[in-house]
Structure 1
Amino acid sequence: MADTPVLEVEAVSRVYRKGGFFSGQKFKAVDSVSFTLPATPQVYSIVGESGSGKTTLARMVLRLVDPSSGSIRLLGRPLTGKGPDRIDTLEFRRLVQPIFQNPFEAFSAYLPIEDYLRRTALNLKVAQSVEEADALSDKALRSVGLSLERIAGKYIRQFSGGELQRISVARALIPSPKLIVADEPVSMVDASLRMSIVNLFRTIVEEQGVSFIYITHDLSTAYYLSDQVAIMNQGSVVESGVPTDILDHPSQAYTRELMAAIPTVGERWPELDAINQRFPATEDRQQSV
């Protein structure tokens, strides 16, 4: 159905044992987290420090680990269990794509970049021939400001971190996913390029209809990018809502600590001026900074 949510996370927890399998000590990396991404494409940011549980939550959405309890549904269908309506692995990999923190670890150092993109299209069976795979790769690359001709014959060592992260985004777009899970995607990119990547995500949401889960420790980029923000601490969501509400009326001391890292008057980022010009709708946010 057209109004079916893209993602429904319901009371999801992930428990690990401390000290090995036979240890009685348990640690809840994620504790009863719930949220929904509606059918309308949007960016849902999960913000927290290292150890807050945000990456474990992302790994459950990516089906890299199973929840200890709770459920996750994609387009109304379960990601876990063995029921007949469960999404199989190939379909899941087409619908949900990751973008990881370190772009230099996202590609093989022994393959030209275009070979990696070609294999993505062929392995996911969204292309039936090399020619079709190359056409899909070129289309995805052009949507991030590159082209197949520009990257042809080059290896990862011949690209900057910012270029490689754009190529990571292009690779994720090849199967036309419904959801991209981006885990700290700008933390290893030069500060001068971070807003260009953030801008790119927003453009993809608006022009290609892809939803994002944006995992970050940086409330400032989440604030400017997101439609909804969830603040995680010690495995739990301590508050969530529209970014302007979180910034103007934080209810938790932990959120106020994260806000302390956001530039204030006299410490403006030039990149933020650029993004405000790109997205005039965020003018009310600009006045709050």
Structure 2
Amino acid sequence: MLTLREVTKEFRIGAFGGKSVAAVKGVSFDVVPGEVVSLIGESGSGKSTIGRMILGLNSATSGSITFDGLPVRAGKEYYRHVQGIFQDPFSSFNPVFKADRVFAMIKEAYYPGVPAAEWGERVETSLRDVRLNPGQVLGRYPHQLSGGQLQRLLIARALLLDIKLLVADEITSMLDASTRIDVLNLLAELKTRGLGVLYITHDLSLGTYLAERTVVLRQGRVAEMGPTDDVFGGPLHPYTRELLSAVPRLHEAWDDAVPVETCAYHEGGGTGGLLEVTPGHFVSCAGLASCPGG
């Protein structure tokens, strides 16, 4: 379904754009139908930049991003199948319009010929699918709804389309703990319908909870990727181990951070190259400062 191959994104910087900085460097991975893939890394690692390129909001400097075998092209037909949800749900709504305006815009753009009564039934069905009561959310302004309700409204909007891929960028970071789990359980339920999800987060615990596969980014490169149980249960890259050591654990004192040591995998593929250590589990030196190839 979604395929990234050696994707690089550079941004021009400086007063006259004479210099450039690479936010994403040679990233490759796939998302297949009915699968959740977590894209994990610290702030500035390139996660959101990748999400924006998949959504057609930014173009790649080099490499390729394809969906169902075709290059990504931002436009009405592409967004019929690919939708994004972002960290701040309030920014996705116009504060002067009531929540049902979101669904009216979908009808105007994609289903102008559907009778109003039939459309109303579709909207109510999509809201119930995300465990919202239509009577409690339609007709209300965004400020009258909680962040969790707004995020579920956005998911319901996506369900009204023929959606195949959902890019979820830090969608739970502004929610309280109980609402966060509700939203994650909803995504897990949707994948059983064949929906592919790219779940972008800096929170390792949430990534572990949701995803079958995990991609760990460091400074724009893939440091490690593979089945989530392998990546988190037996991390091979020093950076992955360092991230895991920083996760708080109840009733335990925190361990000291794992030192970033010389990378044992540099010879497997060179800086940024990936070595398949076990089936489906890839690791790279990713340009560690102490690595001879860094």
TM-score normalised per structure 1: 0.82
Q: In structure 2, how many angstroms separate the alpha carbons of the residues matched to 1:127 and 1:247? A: 49
Contact 1:29 1:53 in 2 (8 A): yes
Corresponding residue for 2:28? Answer: 34
Mark the CA change 1:236 to 1:56 in structure 2 (over 3 Å): closer, same or farther: same
- 3-state SS, counterpart of residue 14 of structure 1: strand
Q: In structure 1, how many angstroms separate the alpha carbons of the residues matched to 2:251 and 2:184? A: 23
Deviation at 1:140, TM superposition (A): 1.1
Deviation at 1:224, TM superposition (A): 1.1
Contact 1:118 1:133 in 2 (8 A): no
* Paired amino acid for 2:144: Q
- 3-state SS, counterpart of residue 201 of structure 1: helix
- 3-state SS, counterpart of residue 213 of structure 1: strand
- 3-state SS, counterpart of residue 17 of structure 1: strand
Corresponding residue for 1:183? Answer: 169
TM-score normalised per structure 2: 0.81
Question: Which of 212, 216, 241 does residue 226 from structure 2 map onto?
Answer: 241
Corresponding residue for 1:253? Answer: 238
Corresponding residue for 1:200? Answer: 186
Contact 1:121 1:175 in 2 (8 A): no
Corresponding residue for 2:65? Answer: 72
Mark the CA change 1:32 to 1:256 in structure 2 (over 3 Å): closer, same or farther: same
Corresponding residue for 1:10? Answer: 5
Deviations 1:212-243 (A, max 9, x none): 00000001100110011000111111100111
Deviation at 1:31, TM superposition (A): 0.3
Deviation at 1:205, TM superposition (A): 0.6
- 3-state SS, counterpart of residue 175 of structure 1: coil
Q: In structure 2, how many angstroms separate the alpha carbons of the residues matched to 1:199 and 1:34? A: 27
Alignment of 1:89-168 (within 5 A): 89-125=75-111, 128-168=114-154
Aligned residues: CA RMSD: 1.7
Is residue 52 of structure 2 the alignment partner of residue 59 of structure 1? yes
Contact 1:127 1:133 in 2 (8 A): no
Structure 2 unmatched runs, 5+: 253-294
Deviation at 1:108, TM superposition (A): 1.1
List, as ranges, runs of 4+ consecutive aligned residues in structure 1 with deviation greater than 2 Å: 124-136, 147-150, 260-267
Q: In structure 1, how many angstroms separate the alpha carbons of the residues matched to 2:65 and 2:16? A: 26
Is residue 37 of structure 2 the alignment partner of residue 44 of structure 1? yes
Contact 1:178 1:211 in 2 (8 A): yes
Deviation at 1:195, TM superposition (A): 1.2
Deviations 1:94-122 (A, max 9, x none): 00011110111111111110122221232
Deviation at 1:21, TM superposition (A): 4.2
Mark the CA change 1:53 to 1:126 in structure 2 (over 3 Å): closer, same or farther: farther
Deviation at 1:28, TM superposition (A): 0.5
Mark the CA change 1:261 to 1:169 in structure 2 (over 3 Å): closer, same or farther: farther
Larger Rg: 2
Mark the CA change 1:189 to 1:263 in structure 2 (over 3 Å): closer, same or farther: same
Q: In structure 2, how many angstroms separate the alpha carbons of the residues matched to 1:61 and 1:73? A: 9
Corresponding residue for 2:281? Answer: none
* Paired amino acid for 1:71: S
* Paired amino acid for 1:14: K
- 3-state SS, counterpart of residue 5 of structure 2: strand
Mark the CA change 1:239 to 1:61 in structure 2 (over 3 Å): closer, same or farther: same
Contact 1:180 1:211 in 2 (8 A): yes
Percentage of identical aligned residues = 38
Mark the CA change 1:127 to 1:34 in structure 2 (over 3 Å): closer, same or farther: farther
Deviation at 1:49, TM superposition (A): 1.0
Q: In structure 2, how many angstroms separate the alpha carbons of the residues matched to 1:187 and 1:247? A: 21
Corresponding residue for 1:226? Answer: 211
Structure 1 unmatched runs, 5+: 1-5, 81-87, 268-289
- 3-state SS, counterpart of residue 182 of structure 1: strand
Mark the CA change 1:35 to 1:154 in structure 2 (over 3 Å): closer, same or farther: same
Q: In structure 2, how many angstroms separate the alpha carbons of the residues matched to 1:59 and 1:21? A: 24
Query: How many residues are paired up?
Result: 252
